[in-house]
Amino acid sequence: MNFLNHIRRRAFWFFRSLPPKGPSFRARFIARAGACVLLFGSIIHGLVIGGHLDYDGSPWRKLPGQLASSLGFAADDIRITGLVHQEPDTLLSAIGVTPGGSLVGFDAVRARALLENLDWVAQATVMRKYPNRLDIVVTERQPFAIWQRDGAHYVIDQTGTAMSTLDPKRLASLLLVTGEGAHRAVAGLVNELETVPQVKKHVAAAARVGERRWTLYLDNGVTIALPETGSDKALMTLARLDRAQGLLSKGIKAIDLRLPGEMIVELAAPVAPDKDVKKFKVSQQQ
């Protein structure tokens, strides 16, 4: 309030000092009034940019948006397309825009750069259509797998980029991969598994070993050690044997395909039958 009272006093003394008449009175009045408006606008703009009106509990917090709205420069028409896993508030917060807030000084080029710097955005387009419309188009990175590293889980896209804002628990159906470098190599593994769908549907997780090869973990507890090179051919051989003999459902524990032209199969340990099990009867007494 002290700031506004100061402005009012300055304006009062300014207009009082104007001559009551004269041939150039109107021109001087318009020029000086325009200068005052420009100065006042510059002061307000500086306060807004500096965040001096935006602290919690500030009575001036909504003032920039109200002034911009009265002049037709408020964010009254925001159109966002392309969001799948994220909320509009998350996007707007990243570029410093609030619905109904001021668009004075808004830079669409800078806003686009801010969006594309987010780990969940692959591409963004921001267009300002005067006076009060924003068109924002984003392409989100698509969740591809879940990478486990040092006890933490990260949702990654096909390039291996982690998306920190996505909750892995909500995307539990994705392939779980572990090991150093697994996030960079998982796309190649999935491409190879696509050629053997009868194997792929049973793969629950995969571990990258020494950043050289993969070990697969099937949903029935079987592990498959793939070779460093030629893993695609090894998977096709495995799929062929499974189709012909039902290999993956014969009570085996592990399959080792690391040696070229060889397959080592480890059988599951047989469960010993129960011995000396005494029969007994349980009765209830009232």
**pLDDT greater than 90 at residue 256:** yes
Query: For residue 231, what pLDDT band results from cuts at 50, 70 and 90?
Result: very high
Q: Is pLDDT above 80 for 9?
A: no
pTM of structure? 0.65
Average pLDDT over residues 69-89: 82
Model pLDDT, residue 260 = 87
pLDDT at residue 282 is higher than 60: no
224's tokens = 């498959």
What pLDDT, in 10s, does the model give residues 65-77? 444 444 446 888 9
Report pLDDT for 105: 84
* Domain covering 145-267 assigned CATH 3.30.300.10 in the classification: no
**pLDDT tops 80 at residue 48:** no
C-alpha 157/C-alpha 25 separation (Å) is 68
The predicted structure's pLDDT at residue 73:
67
Q: Above 50 in pLDDT, residue 54?
A: yes
Q: Quick one: pLDDT at residue 188?
A: 96
Residue 191: pLDDT band with limits 50, 70, 90 = very high
Residue 70 confidence (pLDDT): 45
Model confidence band, residue 283 (pLDDT cutoffs 50, 70, 90): very low
User: What is the rounded average pLDDT for all residues in the chain?
Assistant: 81
Whole-Å CA distances, 161 to 10, 60, 144, 174? 57, 41, 10, 15
DSSP 8-class letter at 171? G
State yes or no: pLDDT of 52 exceeds 90: no
CB–CB of 217/206 below 8 Å? yes
Q: Which helix (H) or strand (E) holds 155?
A: strand 152-156
85-89, 230-234, 268-272: the lowest-pLDDT one: 268-272
Return the number of other C-beta atoms located less than 10 Å from residue 189's C-beta: 23
| Domain limits, the chain | 2-49, 72-140, 145-267
Do residues 105 and 45 lie in contact, with contact meaning Cβ atoms separated by under 8 Å?
Answer: yes
- Select the more confidently predicted residue: 278 or 99: 99
State the residue for tokens 């190879």: 192
Long-range contacts of 228-231 (CB under 8 A, 24+ apart): 228/258, 230/260, 231/189, 231/192, 231/257
Residue 134 has pLDDT above 50, yes or no: yes
Does domain 72-140 fall under CATH 3.10.20.310? My reply is yes
Average pLDDT over residues 243-249: 89
% pLDDT > 70, the chain = 68
